[in-house]
Structure 1
Amino acid sequence: MLLSFQYGNKVYNHNRFFGEGGGARDEARVIFASNLNRWQQPGDMTDVPRPDGINVNNYLDGGSRWLEDGSFIRLRNVNLGYTLPEKLTRQLRGSSVRVYAQGTNLVLLTNYTGLDPESASSSDANQQGIDLGTPPQPRSWQVGVSATF
């Protein structure tokens, strides 16, 4: 079993920048459900500004509004196996039979609202922690049998 974690880092969620723009970007952009909580009239209490078409109201690229806690713990790998007893493998005319199952990226615990707090907008070491459409790490399962005759 392999667990990995990171604590105290910040991730710039550029996906939220575009998705919560609420019309401050072109019509081809996604709009997040959090826009339903946007400011609409005097007296509204919210942390989501009103949308506008000229990109003001805290929708500036450098704003800390898009910084999120990127702390996480991830179950990166689990490998379970069982070697059949020698008496049984001799009956199968073999010397060893092992069955196994392996899972990768099975659990991710985080408060980050994006898909993966280990995001990077490129492979450049200076671009780590910027989530701009980075797909999450895939979850996979493998099962198999290893036999020696």
Structure 2
Amino acid sequence: MLASLRIRGEWCASIYNGGGRFQSASADFYDNQSIDQLRRWQQPGDITDVPQARLFGGNGTAESTRYLDEADFIRLRNLTLGYTIPSQTTEKIGFSKLRVYLTSVNLLTFTDYKFEDPEARSDVNDSRNPGSTFYSSPPAKTFTIGLNINF
């Protein structure tokens, strides 16, 4: 049995959610709203970091540190498990070597980051905005099952 794994992580990093001013925009109709809208200011005396909702008013849509989040994470990037069938068995069926394996990419991610992907960076090829994301898609989880046969 052979196993290999690759883990990636990042600590003490922040990422700016460029889409936050649309996703957390106090009832603007452009995008679905994030769950933080449930913590919005509603009446005098409320203490919150989310502005009052104003339909079509766009309250709180200016760029702000409100959209800056800690992006610490640990990700199991690659995991491969493989097994080479003993030669006594493979020679009986006419093979010199037979190996079975399973590979997974982006299997697990541990993070408190509340948006799409703590490792994401700007989807736009824009070197002026490092450390920011704008509706970045998380990486796909992929699984591969393989068989290597030598005659």
CA distance in structure 2 between the aligned counterparts of 1:103 and 1:86, rounded to whole angstroms: 27
Unmatched segments (≥5 aa) in structure 1: none
The residue type equivalent to 1:15 in the other structure is: G
Alignment of 1:12-27 (within 5 A): 12-23=16-27, 25=28, 27=29
User: Could you report, residue by residue, the CA deviation over 1:20-55 in whole angstroms, capped at 9, with x for unpaired residues?
Assistant: 1013x4x23211222122111112232221023444
Alignment of 1:128-139 (within 5 A): 128-139=130-141
User: Contact conserved, 1:118 with 1:129, CA < 8 A, in 2?
Assistant: no
Unmatched segments (≥5 aa) in structure 2: none
RMSD: 1.6
**Runs of 4+ off more than 4 Å:** none
Deviates more, 1:69-78 or 1:115-124: 115-124
- Provide the identity percentage: 32
Counterpart for residue 8 of structure 2: 4
Correspondence 1:43 to 2:32? no
Correspondence 1:64 to 2:68? no
Alignment of 1:1-149 (within 5 A): 1-23=5-27, 25=28, 27-52=29-54, 53-56=56-59, 58-61=60-63, 63-121=64-122, 122-149=124-151
Say how many residue pairs are matched. Answer: 145
User: Contact conserved, 2:22 with 2:30, CA < 8 A, in 1?
Assistant: no
The two structures have a TM-score, normalised by structure 1, of 0.89
